[in-house]
Amino acid sequence: MRVAFFIKRASRTGSEIVLSNLIRYGVANGLEAFVACEKGGAILSELPTGVPVTVYDDWQSMQRTYAGVMRRLRGDANGFTSYIDARYKPDIWYVNTIIQPYIVMEAQRKNVRCVLHSHELEQMLAHLTEEEAAALTSYPQLILTGSEAARQVLRSLGRETDIHVCYDNIDPERIRFDSDTSLKLRRQLGVSAKTFVWAMAGTLDPNKNPARFVSIAVELLRRGQDVHFIWLGGFDSGYSLYVKQMVRNSGFAENVTFLGPLTDDYYDWLNVANGLVLTSFKDCFPLVMIEAAYLGKPIVSFNSGGVKEFIREGMGMVVDSWNDDDLINAMLRVMSGDIRFDPAVAKSRAAEFSVEAQGKRWLELLTTYFAG
């Protein structure tokens, strides 16, 4: 199969990391891949050697601004998809995330077979028009979702057939860390060996809820708990300034650290943590959840979506109430050992979501629907 993968910005978001893992797996198993994206991000360097990449900004150099790209893509794609078709002659288009509805609608206009891979829950539908949501739901010959929670969103919109769960994945070979480096980073934070470090990762946006992350940290610190909180990733914005100011105003600025975007040292920092706390309102199947389990970390989370499908006894706790006190009590029980945690159980569960395991199912689905 010749597959044109349409990705958004090739940045290190969960959905694009997951897809780059799958592309590597597919190419290693005979898939011919071509990548088209709006912006040239870090993920492009992780693709297999020889996979052709076309960046919209390079192809249409006079349209450098994001707003200009979106205006043109939401119309007739300004000939970009026609260029991809003419140059690579793909058998199918593969559209990653529901936030590219214009690509699906272009496929429908051109009568091109396509796959939609959804990693989103219902809050992201607010960014689409009703026409776009209807096209995403009805046209693709195959829809893949990153969790059962994500599949239920599209089923609620009316899609009943040809929609399959293909869970988000990790590539264990790329989870590299050095324990000595992690110890040095702990010392850099100024914490003792006894300090319990809680981590969260993701964009600094209201859905990931760093404000709640700060509030929970402050409450535990007010109770005299020996804890430190670190947030991995995220870019600066007015909202991030607001959250960081919350920390300054709390009087506990030395106990809450926002690390910003991380690259090669991401897993060293994640390994610093003693546990992961997920504060999101909605999350399809957070990648950091699988990564933390693979590193043998307990997880405490609200029931925000796919986390309920992942956590097993011995891995942590999922809180259904959406009450901060209940989440805090679960964290305290993990810290005290009252909630049993078995690192071997966590790592074994994470291994079920390796790219080898999930990639096999993914490639079988593509073959079933599109081979020949």
The predicted pLDDT at position 78 comes to 53
- Please determine, for residue 25, whether its predicted confidence score (pLDDT) is greater than 90: yes
Where are the alpha helices (H) located in the chain, listed in sequence order? 14-28, 56-59, 66-73, 80-88, 101-110, 130-138, 148-156, 179-189, 210-222, 238-250, 266-272, 287-294, 307-310, 324-336, 343-351, 355-370
3-state SS of 95-163? Answer: EECCCCHHHHHHHHHHCCCEEEEECCCHHHHHHCCHHHHHHHHHCCCEEEECCHHHHHHHHHCCCCCCE
- Please determine, for residue 76, whether its predicted confidence score (pLDDT) is greater than 70: no
Element (H, E) at 276: strand 275-278
- Please determine, for residue 70, whether its predicted confidence score (pLDDT) is greater than 80: no
Residue found by looking up tokens 């990790």 in the block: 170
Of 4-13, 61-70, 296-305, highest mean pLDDT:
296-305
The predicted pLDDT at position 290 comes to 98
Average pLDDT, the chain: 93
Displacement of CA 251 from its chain's centroid (Å): 32
The predicted pLDDT at position 65 comes to 46
- Please determine, for residue 71, whether its predicted confidence score (pLDDT) is greater than 90: no
- From CA 20, how far away is CA 256, in angstroms rounded? 32
pLDDT band at 66; cut points 50, 70, 90:
very low
Averaged pLDDT, 277-301: 97
Strand order in the sheet with 2-7: 53-55, 32-37, 2-7, 92-96, 114-118, 142-145, 163-165
Averaged pLDDT, 129-146: 97
Longest pairwise C-alpha distance within the chain: 64
Q: For residue range 331-356, list pLDDT tens digits in order.
A: 999 999 999 999 999 999 999 999 99
The predicted pLDDT at position 79 comes to 79
Domain 174-351: CATH class, spelled out: alpha beta
* CATH code of the domain occupying 2-169+354-370: 3.40.50.2000
The type of residue at 369 is Y
| φ and ψ of 104, to 5 deg | -60, -45
- Please determine, for residue 74, whether its predicted confidence score (pLDDT) is greater than 90: no
The predicted pLDDT at position 338 comes to 96
Ranges for all domains in the chain classified under CATH 3.40.50.2000:
2-169+354-370, 174-351
- From CA 213, how far away is CA 320, in angstroms rounded? 17
Q: For residue range 247-286, list pLDDT tens digits in order.
A: 999 999 999 999 998 888 999 999 999 999 999 999 999 9
The predicted pLDDT at position 39 comes to 83
Q: For residue range 185-243, list pLDDT tens digits in order.
A: 999 999 999 999 999 999 999 999 999 999 999 999 999 999 999 999 988 899 999 99
pLDDT band at 56; cut points 50, 70, 90:
confident
The angle formed by the CA atoms of residues 292, 295 and 298, to the nearest 5 degrees, is: 55
